[in-house]
Structures are given as structure tokens and as C-alpha cells.
Structure 1
């Protein structure tokens, strides 16, 4: 029981704002994300702005899209409180 508590505490919450922002930078609109999740554009807006948390299945869909678009493993998701370097596009 004690190990389970430590494991759960070690997990980090997904930073949905950064996930959706990464997808926006890759030209994914809120409408397109909503269509992929079978949700409304307003739902995507709410997730990005922290007004709502996606359900498990919807979160998996968003992380799958993010993983495919960024080329990163789903386990490398942006997490709250975890700083990541900002990529600068070569001009």
C-alpha cells in the first residue's frame, strides 16, 4: 500500500495548455482538435484555459495527436511544474 501511494504522488499532471499550444503551433485548430475528440470547439477552449479537465479517453486522444505531431513519446508529455526548453524555429 505504501509503494502505491509513493507512485501516485510521483506522477505529474498533464499541462493541457502546453499540449494544445504545441498543437496550435503545428497548425492544428481548435475545431480540428474538437472533431478528432468528438467534442465542441468550446470544450477545447475550456481544456486549454484550465476551465475543465479532459476525460480519460479524450486525454488519450489529445496525447496521441500531440505525440504524432511532435514526434515525442506520449510519456514525454508536458507536465505542470516541469520546465521545458522552448524551441526556436530556424529562419
Structure 2
């Protein structure tokens, strides 16, 4: 597994919100895992922000989010990183 380094000001997909939107639309974590063909524990890791999905898994998750929620891909939830000052 390789480490991914991010610039501190780079917006990120908010995987917690993506998965929460799917859950609120009636698709539980187990069903999401089945649809993506990944273990449920991986879904839980993405949701708790312990890990981010690989690019291919993230693309499939976004496509599922678009299909289930009816939102446009451009509307996928994002979050800006926190800017800490000392």
C-alpha cells in the first residue's frame, strides 16, 4: 500500500457525507459494500475517515451516490481541510 500525500489546501471528497447520503436514501453499509464488491469493513473505514478509497473504488462509490441520490456528479460533497495556525 502506498502513502498518498496531499497539499494542505486541497479540497477532498467528504466520504462520510457520501456514505451518509446513501444510508439516508435506504442503502445500508452492507448493501453499499455488496454493490461495490468490497468488504463491509472497508466501507466503515471510509466512513470513519480512517482511510480513503482507492481511486477506482472512489469512482464507483461516487457513481453509486449519483445513481441513488439523483444528484449530479459535480455536487458530490467535498470538504476543505482545516487551516491550523500556531
TM-score norm. by structure 1 comes to 0.74
* Structure 1 range deviating more: 10-19 or 27-36: 10-19
**Structure 2 residue ranges without an equivalent (≥5):** 1-6, 81-86
Distance 1:50 1:10 in 2: 18
Q: Deviations over 1:56-91 (max 9, x none)?
A: 11001110111111111111100014xxxxxxxxxx
Instruction: Tell me how large the CA RMSD over aligned residues is.
Output: 1.8
SS at match of 2:13: coil
Following TM superposition, where does structure 1 have runs of at least 4 consecutive aligned residues deviating by more than 2 angstroms?
Answer: 8-12
Report which structure shows greater RCO (CA 8 Å, sep ≥6): 2
TM-score norm. by structure 2 comes to 0.78
Instruction: Tell me the residue number matched to 1:35.
Output: 34
**Structure 1 residue ranges without an equivalent (≥5):** 1-7, 82-91
**Which is richer in strand?**
2
Question: How many corresponding residue pairs?
Answer: 74
**Rg comparison, structure with higher value:** 1
